[in-house]
Amino acid sequence: MTQAKDEIKIGGLGASRKRVEDNRFIRGKGRYVDDIVLPGMLHMEILRSPVAHARITSIDTSKAWTIPGVRLVLTGEMMAARNLAWMPTLSYDTQAVLATDKVRFQGQEVACVIADDPYIAKDACEAIVVEYEPLPVIVNPTQALADGAPVIRDDKENQPDNVAFTWEVGDRQGTDDAFAKADLVSKLDLHYPRSHPSPLECCGSIADFDRSTSKLTVYMTTQAPHIIRAAVALVAELPEHMIRIISPDLGGGFGNKVPVYPGYVMSILASILLERPVKWIEDKSGNLISTGFGRDVYLHGELALRKDGKILAVRMHTDSDHGAFFADAQPSKFKIGLMHSTFACYDVPTAHLTARGVYTNKAPGGVAYRCSFRVTEAMYFQERMVQAAADDLGMDQAEFRRRNFVRDDDFPHRTPFGFLTDSGQYNKCLDVGLEAIGYADFLTEKAEAKKRGRLLGIGISTMTEPLGAGNSREYDILGIKMFDSAELRVHMTGKAILRTGAKSQGQGHETTWAQIVAHELGIPADDITVEEGDTDTAPFGMGTYASRSTPVAGAAVAMVSRKVRAKARKLAAHLLEVSEEDIEWELGRFYVRSAPAHGVTIQECAMAAYSNMPDGMEPGLENVSYYDPPNLTWPFGCYIATVEVDPQTGVWDVLRMVAVDDCGVRINPMIVEGQIMGGLTEAYAMASNQFITFDAQGNCVGSNYMDYMLPTAWETPGYELHEVVTPSPHHPIGAKGVGECATVGGPAAFVNAVLDAIRDTGVRNIDMPLLPDRVYEALTKRHDVSG
């Protein structure tokens, strides 16, 4: 049998191994925060503001205190007395834990009640009387930047207006010069609307402070338990070893479970004050209106073009709406995340980006919803601009991309904004996609259909995106450098336990990490237990978001396995009575080079590590690895959608969706395909229907699943998946991240397809979601439709 076949047999790299975690999930045996019941546990409920902007004139909690079973009522004033009314955000801003002076968005936390059961706590919340003095409400950047606009963050010194930040990057002069020489300038204005990650499980925590040991244990829905431990240590001034954060099974995260929310802080304080475990479980509307939103960015974009189709320069300005607190959970030192990773797959000589972030009366925005810190917006803007430019030039959209792609032999390639891309086969991916969709035939079919009044369209979206923050030089969270970790302990019998600093929320790490160990050590994946999420046992890591797990923690898993193999090699030399230099390795076995039949298995080496080690060697077979990646990984996606638009109603249907993903070496092809399908479904939802907006009073429209669509199998189109493999040159097993690629690249393919179908109207843009009434308006009124 070949090594590759052996490897598939033991569940190594390339095996579509069934997800081991599903054994408990499909039996209803998952252990989520809400499943945990501790002796003497109390329950916390939060009173939220019904209005978006108002001064609090009084809070009367007297009636709430009289309700039997109520143990504690917390207000902003009480938090302020403990210096906890405000907390730092991951973007170096501050955020109210409980409002003291004003409420700044609908759903903001105003008070909370801790009681014997959640129903009593809820009733008591309703008994709290809050008087509000309404203030003018600001719900978009135009209002925020208008002369005389009320200052939302009047709590901050030196904050005369609603600008949260300004930032610029790139070569302004060089870009201006290139625009002066352009044959054509293509312009586009777009809005990427607010969206909500909306994991099925909402946020929650159980804080359990034990006065007798001084230990605080917090079960918490967090994607980054070690960061939370560091934050609690800093804010609550508790020693780190006395804080244990446990993130049990998570029902999705998608970036929503990265920030620190007031509910976590209040449950911790309540447990310390009451010396009882305190559970807080958010309800769905609470989650939808108050926790980290994504997107909400306005773009003005320009491309300087030569008439042969070459892009000479890119100019972009973005206005992003961050809500009331600049709480983006992003570890880059750049104010608008990685927006400037845009145009990385195209060979663009020069570019310039200015960015401005504003405060509005909305919940904090800007979380990386299945995204690497604004990369979704960046790639959407890029691919919409690319299609508009091809149209302006009268050039085929595939050909336009081909003329501008970075070529295979141009790597490593410095992007116009300074990133270093290192690998890819962009033309090949496009070819595979065009071939799969039958590009030429579809264009003919489209022309024929048009004669009969039918509107068919085809949209392409091609992009490379940076996945895998760090490296530690450029990325940190609150000063903690970005890296990740793995600890591997091989037991005497050759079974093993692996712990990492990542934290799966459904991505299948328990399955795939074991496959990497199987690949490196030849231990069958079924013999390896994977654990994540407990800061008392897992090595320090930065958690899981932005598809960083495979690029960073996955790399650490390979590296720690190699360290263990290096020790096993010494043990093998001892057992085989030869020197280490005379030993060869094959999957799961060391053998003597000159006598291949003479060998020992990795399991025999493990036994020897505890029972027969050479003189002077420490017993045991375990190690730990902290991995600081030299670069981000750069997967590539090519998404092509065909649609038909009904001219009578504006309703559009997806005919086909082809996805070609190059995420380097695939650890588990089945899981990768699942990630891509899930990502495309979210992309389709955002492009077509999903809408969480705010009315003029700042009321959140979309605060429940009657209004905010989560696509089911019924609405979801079918997907045709293809792959190209260009290994990452620096990742130890050549893998690149993939989890978010389809969400990032997918939306532009659907939107481009609809705009292609109605191209004859001259309409250049309809903002997402492309609801039928918007498409109908564009068709009948022949003008752009902004969101």
Binding site for ligand CDP (CB under 6 A): 507-509, 512, 544, 547-550, 554, 663-668, 671-672, 675, 735-739
Q: Residue 688 in 3-state DSSP?
A: helix
Closer residue to ligand CDP, CB minimum distance, 12 or 204: 12
What is the torsional sign of CA 75, 80, 83, 89?
positive
CB of 504 to ligand CDP, least distance (A): 6
Q: Residue 502 in 3-state DSSP?
A: coil
Closer residue to ligand CDP, CB minimum distance, 672 or 754: 672
Closer residue to ligand CDP, CB minimum distance, 267 or 728: 728
Closer residue to ligand CDP, CB minimum distance, 319 or 510: 510
Exposed, middle or buried by CB within 10 Å (0-12, 13-18, 19+), for 520?
buried
Structure tokens at 356: 């401005």
CB of 179 to ligand CDP, least distance (A): 37
Quote the CA–CA distance of 519 and 444 in Å, as a whole number: 48
Quote the CA–CA distance of 552 and 285 in Å, as a whole number: 34
Closer residue to ligand CDP, CB minimum distance, 457 or 739: 739
CB of 702 to ligand CDP, least distance (A): 25
Structure tokens at 384: 């919409």
Of these residues, 17, 19, 194, 370, which one is catalytic? 370
Q: In 3D, which of 408, 401, 414, 421 has the Cα closest to residue 464?
A: 421
Closer residue to ligand CDP, CB minimum distance, 354 or 471: 471
Structure tokens at 423: 């690998």
Quote the CA–CA distance of 301 and 295 in Å, as a whole number: 17
First and final C-alpha spacing in the chain = 59
Report which secondary-structure segment, H or E, holds 72. strand 70-75
Closer residue to ligand CDP, CB minimum distance, 604 or 661: 661
From residue 556, how far is each of 47, 320, 471, 641 by CA, in Å?
43, 35, 13, 37
465 and 633 Cβ atoms separated by less than 8 Å: no
CB of 484 to ligand CDP, least distance (A): 10
Report which secondary-structure segment, H or E, holds 25. helix 22-25
**How far is Cα of residue 429 from the mean position of the Cα atoms in its chain?**
24
Closer residue to ligand CDP, CB minimum distance, 542 or 657: 542
Closer residue to ligand CDP, CB minimum distance, 561 or 668: 668
CB of 666 to ligand CDP, least distance (A): 4
Of these residues, 95, 108, 223, 397, which one is catalytic? 223
371 given a catalytic annotation: yes
CB of 545 to ligand CDP, least distance (A): 7
Q: In 3D, which of 46, 45, 85, 78 has the Cα closest to residue 235?
A: 85
398 and 323 Cβ atoms separated by less than 8 Å: no
Query: Amino acid letter at 36?
Result: I
Quote the CA–CA distance of 682 and 662 in Å, as a whole number: 19
CB of 516 to ligand CDP, least distance (A): 8
Structure tokens at 43: 């329950």
CB of 7 to ligand CDP, least distance (A): 14
Q: Residues 6 or more apart from 487 whose CB is under 8 A from it?
A: 498, 499, 500, 538, 539, 560, 622, 623, 624, 625
- Beta bridge partners, 422, equal none
CB of 652 to ligand CDP, least distance (A): 30
* Strands annotated E in 290-382: 294-305, 311-321, 350-358
Q: Residues 6 or more apart from 416 whose CB is under 8 A from it?
A: 170, 171, 313, 314, 343, 348, 349, 350, 351
Closer residue to ligand CDP, CB minimum distance, 350 or 500: 500
CB of 132 to ligand CDP, least distance (A): 40
Quote the CA–CA distance of 284 and 695 in Å, as a whole number: 20
510 given a catalytic annotation: no
Quote the CA–CA distance of 540 and 563 in Å, as a whole number: 18
* Phi, psi of 580, rounded to the nearest 5 degrees: -55, -35
370 given a catalytic annotation: yes
Closer residue to ligand CDP, CB minimum distance, 309 or 543: 543
Sheet with 595-601, strands from edge to edge, namely 583-586, 589-592, 595-601
Number of H helices, E strands in the chain: 20, 34
Rounded to 10 deg, the angle between the 602-611 and 555-576 helix axes is 70
Query: Amino acid letter at 541?
Result: G
Of these residues, 371, 638, 663, 700, which one is catalytic? 371
Quote the CA–CA distance of 506 and 247 in Å, as a whole number: 13
Is-cis flag, bond preceding 630, omega within 30? no
DSSP state of 761: G
Closer residue to ligand CDP, CB minimum distance, 170 or 259: 259
CB of 508 to ligand CDP, least distance (A): 4
Buried b (16+ CB within 10 A) or exposed e, 497-515: ebbbbbbbbbbbbbbbbbb
Of these residues, 565, 740, 741, 764, which one is catalytic? 740
Closer residue to ligand CDP, CB minimum distance, 491 or 666: 666
CB of 379 to ligand CDP, least distance (A): 16
CB of 398 to ligand CDP, least distance (A): 26
**Could you give the residue numbers annotated as active site?**
223, 370-371, 740
